Amino acid sequence: MFSLFYGLWKYMFSKTEFHVLILGINKAGKTTLLEKLKSVYSNLEGLPPDRIVPTIGLNIARIEASNTKLVF
């Protein structure tokens, strides 16, 4: 019985989560795009474009927009 209520609660109040992979060649603006999305859709302040350095490794971010979660 508990699982029925839990499933209903999760269905009604959970946000849909999408995993987004940004691919491109070197210096194509992938990190700049991610920083701009962070500044537009979240309370986080993104870096200005002149302060962004080339990314070594991974650049991971979570953004909540309306009723969805985006994981980059």
Sequence spans of domains, the chain: 15-71
Q: pLDDT, tens digit, for every residue of 6-61?
A: 888 877 777 888 999 999 999 899 999 998 988 888 777 778 888 888 888 888 88
Q: What is the pLDDT of residue 42?
A: 79
Q: Please report, in angstroms and rounded to a whole number, the separation of the first and last CA atoms in the chain.
A: 36
Separation CA 30–CA 48 (nearest Å): 14
Instruction: State yes or no: 26 annotated in a binding site.
Output: yes
Q: What is the pLDDT of residue 28?
A: 92
Instruction: State yes or no: 31 annotated in a binding site.
Output: yes
In the sheet that 68-71 helps form, which strands lie side by side, from edge to edge?
Answer: 16-19, 68-71, 62-65
* Pairing of β 16-19 and β 68-71: parallel
Q: What is the pLDDT of residue 50?
A: 87
Instruction: State yes or no: 15 annotated in a binding site.
Output: no
Global confidence as pTM:
0.73
Separation CA 67–CA 64 (nearest Å): 7
Q: What is the pLDDT of residue 20?
A: 93
pLDDT at 72 over 80: yes
Supply the DSSP string of 42-55, one letter for each residue: SSSPPPPGGG----
